[in-house]
Amino acid sequence: DTAVSQTPKYLVTQMGNDKSIKCEQNLGHDTMYWYKQDSKKFLKIMFSYNNKELIINETVPNRFSPKSPDKAHLNLHINSLELGDSAVYFCASSQDLREYQETQYFGPGTRLLVL
Amino acid sequence: GQNIDQPTEMTATEGAIVQINCTYQTSGFNGLFWYQQHAGEAPTFLSYNVLDGLEEKGRFSSFLSRSKGYSYLLLKELQMKDSASYLCAAMDSNYQLIWGAGTKLIIKP
């Protein structure tokens, strides 16, 4: 059984469109994250949610909005897509953000290409 | 600022030993993680160090020196399947992971 799943795996779209990426975890974890991995392979934290509360919001454009209907889901909605948004987006989860020894488990990634 | 440095690429021979170094600068410190990422796949957890010293886990070991802001990942008896990127990440005082760009390890027969 997949622990952290994301859909879609690949997303090709035009500039200016609005798109969503879905993430679900069945580990019973309290915290979920969204990361962006660019062509240089840096993993950059975008958001994290702990028990449906946004607790880290990095300086990402407000075109990006996380939505968490329940603690097992953290979706990422992107408005007015730009060429620079092309990257791999990873969802991850951990038991508790403040338990420092907690491992983060990653989803398979969503490869977004904006044309 | 916060920063993680690790070599971009390393090459090693099957059956040999390789050490991947990582230096970090963070605001506060709550531990150092190593992840493995095969091409086109998600990162997977390898090790966690929060105290100084060596943690051994099978063929992989990880070392931490907090006073030097330094860690290394040691891979023994290299296998072809170990070809991957190895990501170093330090957790800061806000429990946020600061990631390095990864070291691409190429294993040759």
Model confidence over B11-21: pLDDT tens digits? 999 999 999 99
Chain B contacts of A10, Cβ < 8 Å? none
**Which helix (H) or strand (E) is A10 found in, with range?**
strand A10-13
User: By the CB < 8 Å criterion, does A9 face chain B?
Assistant: no
Contact A45 B41 (CB under 8 A): no
Residue-level pLDDT at A101: 60
Mean pLDDT over A9-37 rounds to 94
Query: How far apart, in Å, are the Cα atoms of A55 and each of A45, A58, A66, A72, B102?
Result: 12, 10, 12, 16, 26
Q: Would you say residue B28 has pLDDT above 70?
A: yes
Contact A43 B87 (CB under 8 A): yes
Residue-level pLDDT at A73: 94
| A46, closest residue in chain B (CA to CA) | B96
Model confidence band, residue A100 (pLDDT cutoffs 50, 70, 90)? low
Residue-level pLDDT at A8: 96
Chain B contacts of A107, Cβ < 8 Å? 42
Query: How far apart, in Å, are the Cα atoms of A87 and each of A2, A11, A112, B27?
Result: 23, 10, 5, 27
- Mean pLDDT, all residues of chain B: 94
Chain B contacts of A103, Cβ < 8 Å? 33, 45, 48
Q: Would you say residue A99 has pLDDT above 70?
A: no
User: By the CB < 8 Å criterion, does A67 face chain B?
Assistant: no
Query: How far apart, in Å, are the Cα atoms of B25 and each of A1, A111, B5, B97?
Result: 37, 30, 9, 12
Q: For chain B, what percent of residues have pLDDT higher than 70?
A: 100
Report how far residue B103's alpha carbon sits from residue A26's, in angstroms, rounded to the nearest whole number. Answer: 31
| Token couple for A66 | 């996380």
User: By the CB < 8 Å criterion, does A95 face chain B?
Assistant: no
Residue-level pLDDT at A95: 84
Residue-level pLDDT at A45: 86
Residue-level pLDDT at A87: 95
Say if residues A65 and A74 touch (Cβ distance below 8 Å): no
How do residues A32-87 score in pLDDT, each as one tens digit? 999 999 877 788 888 888 876 787 676 788 899 999 888 899 999 999 999 999 99
Contact B95 A107 (CB under 8 A): no
Residue-level pLDDT at A43: 85
Model confidence band, residue A18 (pLDDT cutoffs 50, 70, 90)? very high
Q: How many CA atoms lie within 13 A of B69 on its CB side?
A: 13
Q: How many CB pairs under 8 A join A and B?
A: 43
